Chains A and B, each alone.
Chain A
Amino acid sequence: MKRLTVLLISLFLAASAIAADPTIEEIVNRANLATYYQGKDGRAHVKMTITDSQGRKRMRKLTILRWDQPDTDELENGAYRGKQKFYVYFSRPADVNKMVFLVWKNLDKDDDRWLYLPALDLVKRIAASDKRTSFVGSDFFYEDVSGRDIDEDEHELLKTTDKYFVIKNTPKDPSSVEFAYYMMYIHKKTFLPIQVEYYDAQDKKYRVAKALKVENIQGHPTVTKASMESLNQGSKTVMEYSSVKYDTGIPEDIFTERYLRKPPRKYLK
């Protein structure tokens, strides 16, 4: 009985430490951290299935490597945020095997991007373009994969349900995006956005992202299956993550032009 009381109290304390009415900034930052910045680095195999309105499926397989500049996951002063690098290696369909997409995500300026097309032997650093274009033909946008900078939107906590914080995000520069606003349902415990809904200027919902499966990996609640639906098109993309691993110790120099032509097999397996 005594032990149970202690357990209950400690649980209560643990819960209240987070749930004691976090500020909107805290919620947004925790969600940002949980989604994009967990661990020092990360690796995941991704199987992407695009299903169109006629039920036709297309499949892509890729491996994503991530490297974070900050050594910490501390929220304090946004310490967890910082420069990030992504190495996206495509293995299927067979005819795009070895295609690589490299991104340096910068906080204070536009991202740097590289694309390597092995069949055309083309590789060159490129200027950033619109980030809200399709990611290799899927319903996800580039920005969904690399993460939208939280400073680009105004955030408003609309309500708190027993499970979620419901947050409305309105772009500071409406002309740069196709949405009028988006709603995020952020899970109170894990701070993972479980559902994100995009609305157009007519208040019509046209795009929905969902976390379909969450697993605890190395202590990090991690979305291992996610979907994005384009309601106007009737298409849907599901991304399944496997072999997810944090803190693999990928060296920063993998994320350079040199490795586009010479994929780092060791880290991709």
Chain B
Amino acid sequence: MSSKKSSWLIDWAVARPRFFTWLMVFSTFLLIILAAVPSIWPEKVPALHSIEVDTDPENMLPADEPVRLFHNAAKKEFSLNDIVVVGIVNDKHPEGVFNPESLQRVYDLTEFAKTLQWSDKEGKHGVVEIDIIAPSTVDNIEQGGMGVVNFSWLMPRPPKTQEEALSIRERAMNIPFLKGTMVSEDGKALAIYLPLVSKHDSYEVRKALLGFIKEWDGDEQVHITGLPVAEDTFGVEMFTQMAISAPLAMLVIFVLLWWFFRNLTLIVSPMIVAMVSALSTMALLVITGNTIHIMSSMIPIFIMPIAVLDSIHILSEFFDRYPQIRDRKKTIIEVMKHLFTPMLFTSVTTMAGFASLALTPIPPVQVFGIFVAIGVFLAWFWTIVFIPAYVMLMPEAKLEGFGQSVSDSGDTTGMAKFLHGLGKWTHDHPKTVLAVTFLCVLISVYGISRIQINDNPIKWFEPDHPIRVADKILNEHFGGTYIAYLQYEADDKGLSVDSYITELEQRLEQWKAQVLADEYAQVEAVYTKAVQLMKETQAESIEDYLSKLQGRVNDLMDHASDEEYDTWSELALFFDREDQRNEVFKQPEVLRYLSRLQDFLLQTGVVGKVNALPDIIKTVHRELFLGDADHFRIPDSVNGVAQTLITYQNSHRPQDLWHFVTPDYKKSNLMLQLTSGDNKDMEKVIAAVADFEEQNPPPMALKSNWFGLTYINVIWQDHMVQGMLKSFMGSFVIVLLMMVFLFRSALFGILSMIPLTVTVGLIYGVIGLIGKDYDMPVAVLSALSLGLAIDYAIHFLARSREAVRETGNWHNAVDVVFGEPARAITRNVIILGAGFLPLLAAPLVPYQTVGFFIASILVCAGIATLLILPSAMTLLEKYLFRGELS
């Protein structure tokens, strides 16, 4: 299986060891400098990229993804900012935080939060003061006698007595907008909402708040949460992950290599290759302007164990051969040439597996896949040239006794004995193995059918993490901290100008009847003139038509005689009313529809609270009628709604209205508070709304659109699931074709895919069976493991063929294959399995998941290779080895 093309490279590496060593050292340092200098002194080399951390889950979708564009546009349109939620709970006081001392602290905290604003060259930063929701910044909406609503600050100053504290709660609980949002449903806790200019300000804001509350000596517990906070914390933990897991992986690999080869000088070489590959790849990532993201932060820990795999094969064989040949140069050349093709193929398949991630529509996953592939390439290249060079540069004395201890009694170690036994057993019981395999496949199919697709970025933190704790407590007390928005807008049916004019003529006649009844003067004359104006006016659109008409009417009114003036004024009013007809979210029936939808959403069990325009209108309407609960409803006329709304705008915060409706009343926004950030719960809500819309056609043509981070998460999850399937299929086909090409045999190609297919199926089956959610880390596993797990099969099949050729038949070859080749494979299984385990020490759940499952897949695939392949070969010997035996 040795390739002629490979020999010049290996000969060269052996002949010029110093050159290659220096080349590697130099190139690595160059890359590190190119990445480090702009990161440390960004202003000195503005042309180069500095290290950038990206913890924004929105970036799971490309920046130009329609869902994201709509999300951003809608956020801007409704002036919605990302929010830091500060929950204040007091378990000691019987009334919770509603006591003078606690409320004094809440007041002080709010005043402090208002000061958290700063500016730099990019503009304003920090808290958006006018949109803070806190007891001292919101209005109490209260009747001030029949027909009047008073707006006064809910808590203009901290209460002096317990009674005052309780009355603040009582008033707040009467305002739907605050109940369940600012005051907990049980009336014991408070939440302050601090909107941020940019979500990237959350770290500073949180730090300042934590500093401020550190000096509290009361019984209140303060929980700070909200997605921006989670993201920033995530960034910090990401580096912790890299700082803990990567060195730990190095250590594990080092210890294992020592256990395998017992030669300190020699095992340093794969460690160097691993370091060089990981560092160069990360440097390249920074240099090319890519960000450190949850995915890309895992690159080093992926590259390191993979980087030593080829070296292990080299060293294993060197270990076995050196005691016989006793010449390092001859030995290394022979070993390298022997292993060149399998190493090339294993590396290329691994690269293909990772590079296939570029087929997913998730940019961070693409970057991860491509850069791990680059890292694997670097590791392969430096293994090929540096390991032989290193061996040549070693003092020959250091090799003294290498492999000696075991060469005479080569097969007496525990591992060796076990593997020999295993080889014999598979040869004797092929049908048992295949029967068990078939059973596994059946279980897998059942398990996979039960897989639940779900993710939740908050659950990326461990359950005892302060953010998870805050999240849990706040969701117990309040309507929910996960926000999704549902926007409705009028679905313009494209009424033509002509048919509009026909309708308008009818309404004008009704108008005439009305003003006649109201005893206006000169009605007939004004009406005739109006009809004439309507005929004369030409326009492209209804809006244009009306505005031209309004202009003409106003002109005529200004010049009208005193006698006609009032009638003209009424006519002007009539056309202005026409203009307001498309203000759909002032129409009582539309508002009632939204209100019914709100009630329906609360019954889904997932939505804890919906804030929307109907609440504001109903609350103000109730207070206009002396706070009478019967008047907690939508007024019966458009004008009634409009006048209720203008009453609301007499408050301290009229701008709050524009979070729920646009000033032209053509779009309205429902804010849903979900108590769970699970994608499956969001999906449930989406499906429920679709159902509702279908069963309850809206009174006017409306169309709905979702936005908000909780919704975006669902979208990228969908992309992820489909993308991963595509990526897995893609890499499966590519690897299969490569195998067919490598072995020049379709049967061998198919055979090589069996162990990993069974393994991947089994792991996903188990995930389905134990009820583990199919989330982002689980999704990326399949494609990742494919390129790695095939390696065992490549080595195993290549060596088996060779052995059959040498020994004459499979029966004899089993012993050979279960000697050194099986040992090298087992060592790789152990290295890979153990090499990924340090991810379990990472503080974030996705890393742990990846670590655990990838280790499981690789170990299982190793076992499957060593069991299924020899069993299959025993049964298929005649078909498989035709070429070798003829």
Pick from A23-31, A128-136, A245-253 the stretch touching chain B: A128-136
A94 to B637, CA, bound (A): 13
* Nearest chain A CB to B572 CB, angstrom units: 9
Q: Are A126 and B664 in contact (CB under 8 A)?
A: no
Interface membership of A202, Cβ < 8 A: yes
1/0 per residue, CB under 8 A from A, across B146-181: the answer is 111011110011000000000000000000000000
* Nearest chain A CB to B560 CB, angstrom units: 11
Interface membership of A269, Cβ < 8 A: yes
1/0 per residue, CB under 8 A from B, across A120-140: the answer is 101111110110111111000
The answer, among B147, B651, B655, for a CB contact under 8 Å with A115, is: B147
Interface membership of A235, Cβ < 8 A: yes
Q: Are B640 and A127 in contact (CB under 8 A)?
A: no
Interface membership of B642, Cβ < 8 A: yes
Interface membership of B565, Cβ < 8 A: yes
Within A30-58, which residues are at the interface with B (CB < 8 Å)?
A: 52-54, 56-58
With A136-B650, A202-B115: A130-B151 Cβ-Cβ less than 8 Å: yes
- Interface size class for chain A? 35 or more
Interface membership of B639, Cβ < 8 A: yes
Q: Are B77 and A54 in contact (CB under 8 A)?
A: yes
Interface membership of B187, Cβ < 8 A: no
Q: Which chain A positions have C-beta within 8 A of B151? A: 129-130, 133
Instruction: List 18 extra interface pairs beyond A94-B580, A124-B145, A269-B565, CB under 8 A.
Output: A52-B655, A95-B639, A95-B642, A96-B642, A96-B646, A97-B639, A99-B643, A115-B148, A117-B643, A119-B639, A119-B643, A120-B640, A123-B147, A124-B148, A125-B145, A126-B147, A133-B651, A175-B157
Q: Which chain B positions have C-beta within 8 A of A97? A: 573, 639
Q: Which chain A positions have C-beta within 8 A of B664? A: 56
Most A CB within 10 A of own CB, among B157, B566, B624: B624
| 30 pairs from A and B in contact (CB 8 Å cutoff) | A52-B663, A91-B573, A93-B580, A95-B638, A95-B639, A95-B643, A96-B639, A97-B573, A97-B639, A99-B646, A115-B147, A115-B148, A117-B624, A117-B644, A117-B647, A118-B639, A119-B640, A119-B643, A122-B146, A122-B624, A124-B147, A126-B147, A129-B144, A129-B151, A129-B152, A134-B649, A134-B650, A136-B646, A230-B130, A235-B655
With A119-B639, A126-B145: A134-B77 Cβ-Cβ less than 8 Å: no
Q: Which chain A positions have C-beta within 8 A of B77? A: 54
The answer, among A92, A115, A119, A132, for a CB contact under 8 Å with B576, is: A92
Q: Which chain B positions have C-beta within 8 A of A235? A: 655
Interface membership of A233, Cβ < 8 A: yes
Interface membership of A232, Cβ < 8 A: yes
* Nearest chain A CB to B310 CB, angstrom units: 59
Q: Are A124 and B639 in contact (CB under 8 A)?
A: no
Q: Are B144 and A120 in contact (CB under 8 A)?
A: no
- Interface size class for chain B? 35 or more
Within A95-115, which residues are at the interface with B (CB < 8 Å)?
A: 95-97, 99, 113, 115
Q: Which chain A positions have C-beta within 8 A of B650? A: 133-137, 142
Interface membership of B95, Cβ < 8 A: no
* Nearest chain A CB to B731 CB, angstrom units: 47
Q: Which chain B positions have C-beta within 8 A of A2? A: none
Q: Which chain A positions have C-beta within 8 A of B577? A: 94-95
The 7 closest A-B pairs by CB, nearest first: A137-B649, A122-B147, A119-B639, A95-B642, A124-B146, A126-B148, A94-B576
Within B352-370, which residues are at the interface with A (CB < 8 Å)?
A: none
A129 to B577, CA, bound (A): 32
Residue of A nearest to B576 (CB): A94
Q: Are A115 and B647 in contact (CB under 8 A)?
A: yes
Q: Are A134 and B647 in contact (CB under 8 A)?
A: no
Q: Which chain B positions have C-beta within 8 A of A132? A: 652
Q: Are B643 and A94 in contact (CB under 8 A)?
A: no
Interface membership of B129, Cβ < 8 A: yes
Q: Which chain B positions have C-beta within 8 A of A54? A: 76-77, 79
Q: Are B652 and A94 in contact (CB under 8 A)?
A: no
A233 to B139, CA, bound (A): 17
Q: Which chain B positions have C-beta within 8 A of A115? A: 147-148, 647
Residue of B nearest to A60 (CB): B646
* Nearest chain B CB to A132 CB, angstrom units: 8
1/0 per residue, CB under 8 A from B, across A225-249: the answer is 0000010110100000000000000
With A52-B663, A92-B576, A93-B580: A120-B655 Cβ-Cβ less than 8 Å: no
Q: Which chain B positions have C-beta within 8 A of A52? A: 655, 658, 663
A202 to B127, CA, bound (A): 15
Q: Which chain B positions have C-beta within 8 A of A130? A: 150-153, 652
Residue of B nearest to A266 (CB): B562
Q: Which chain B positions have C-beta within 8 A of A116? A: 147
Q: Which chain A positions have C-beta within 8 A of B580? A: 93-95
The answer, among B79, B153, B635, B663, for a CB contact under 8 Å with A119, is: B635
Interface membership of B662, Cβ < 8 A: yes
- Residues of chain A touching chain B, judged by Cβ–Cβ distance below 8 Å, are 52-54, 56-58, 91-97, 99, 113, 115-120, 122-127, 129-130, 132-137, 142, 175, 202, 230, 232-233, 235, 265, 269
The answer, among B566, B583, B625, for a CB contact under 8 Å with A265, is: B566
Q: Which chain A positions have C-beta within 8 A of B551? A: none
Interface membership of B65, Cβ < 8 A: no
Residue of B nearest to A268 (CB): B569
Q: Are B145 and A117 in contact (CB under 8 A)?
A: no
Interface membership of B586, Cβ < 8 A: yes
Q: Which chain A positions have C-beta within 8 A of B146? A: 122, 124
A142 to B148, CA, bound (A): 15
* Nearest chain B CB to A138 CB, angstrom units: 8
Q: Are B152 and A93 in contact (CB under 8 A)?
A: no
Within B443-483, which residues are at the interface with A (CB < 8 Å)?
A: none
Q: Are B150 and A129 in contact (CB under 8 A)?
A: yes
A96 to B648, CA, bound (A): 13
Q: Which chain A positions have C-beta within 8 A of B148? A: 113, 115, 124, 126
Q: Are A96 and B649 in contact (CB under 8 A)?
A: no
Interface membership of B579, Cβ < 8 A: yes
1/0 per residue, CB under 8 A from A, across B616-645: the answer is 000001001100000000010111111110
Residue of A nearest to B648 (CB): A137
Q: Which chain B positions have C-beta within 8 A of A96? A: 639, 642-643, 646
A209 to B565, CA, bound (A): 35
Q: Which chain A positions have C-beta within 8 A of B139? A: 133
A115 to B646, CA, bound (A): 11
* Nearest chain B CB to A101 CB, angstrom units: 9
A6 to B653, CA, bound (A): 58
* Nearest chain A CB to B386 CB, angstrom units: 60
* Nearest chain A CB to B640 CB, angstrom units: 4
Q: Which chain A positions have C-beta within 8 A of B654? A: 134, 137
* Nearest chain A CB to B313 CB, angstrom units: 64
Q: Which chain B positions have C-beta within 8 A of A232? A: 129-130
A269 to B563, CA, bound (A): 13
Residue of A nearest to B574 (CB): A94
A202 to B566, CA, bound (A): 52
A136 to B648, CA, bound (A): 8
Q: Which chain A positions have C-beta within 8 A of B640? A: 117, 119-120
The answer, among A53, A113, A119, A123, for a CB contact under 8 Å with B642, is: A119
1/0 per residue, CB under 8 A from A, across B114-146: the answer is 010000000000000110000000010000111
* Nearest chain B CB to A239 CB, angstrom units: 16
The answer, among B129, B147, B156, B566, for a CB contact under 8 Å with A117, is: B147
* Nearest chain A CB to B550 CB, angstrom units: 11
Q: Are A233 and B147 in contact (CB under 8 A)?
A: no
Residue of B nearest to A235 (CB): B655
* Nearest chain B CB to A193 CB, angstrom units: 24
* Nearest chain B CB to A92 CB, angstrom units: 6
* Nearest chain B CB to A97 CB, angstrom units: 6
Q: Which chain A positions have C-beta within 8 A of B638? A: 95
Q: Which chain B positions have C-beta within 8 A of A91? A: 573
Most B CB within 10 A of own CB, among A53, A58, A120, A129: A120
Q: Which chain A positions have C-beta within 8 A of B644? A: 117, 120
